Amino acid sequence: MFKEWDIKFDSERRCSVYCIEVIPETVGMFTGFYDETGKAIYEGDIVQLDIDDGLLGVVFWNKNIGCWDVRDNEGMTYWDVYTGLPPLKVNNVWVIGSIHDNPEILERR
């Protein structure tokens, strides 16, 4: 997405389009947190929590309570990690993929 002031026109009112390479591992907003192994946690990451025999869920910003959260396949939320002062290491959480690269991980459960 872009804002209207991000578009640059030349004197003849033509605009240019630029393609910028995206690093796949960085798609999504960085939460400011790192998992048990030191891997950065991004919005849209699939994480495994050390509860309920390794619960899997997707990291998302919970705008209702203003924190990072994890939602499982049934819509239940866990984690409730408030931003604090990143970067912070979160114990008992492991990034195992993302909804962009590995959506099939969630289908296995």
What CATH number has the domain bearing residue 77? 2.30.30.290
> pLDDT of 61-105, one tens digit each?
888 888 888 998 888 888 766 555 445 677 788 999 999 889 999
8 found inside a domain: no
Question: Across the chain, where does the E strand assignment appear?
Answer: 30-34, 40-42, 45-49, 56-62, 67-71, 77-81, 88-89, 93-98
88 found inside a domain: yes
What range does the domain containing 44 cover?
28-107
The Cα–Cα gap between 46 and 106 comes to: 8
15 found inside a domain: no
pTM for this predicted structure:
0.70
| Total number of domains constituting the chain | 1
Q: Per-residue confidence at 4, pLDDT binned at 50, 70, 90?
A: very low
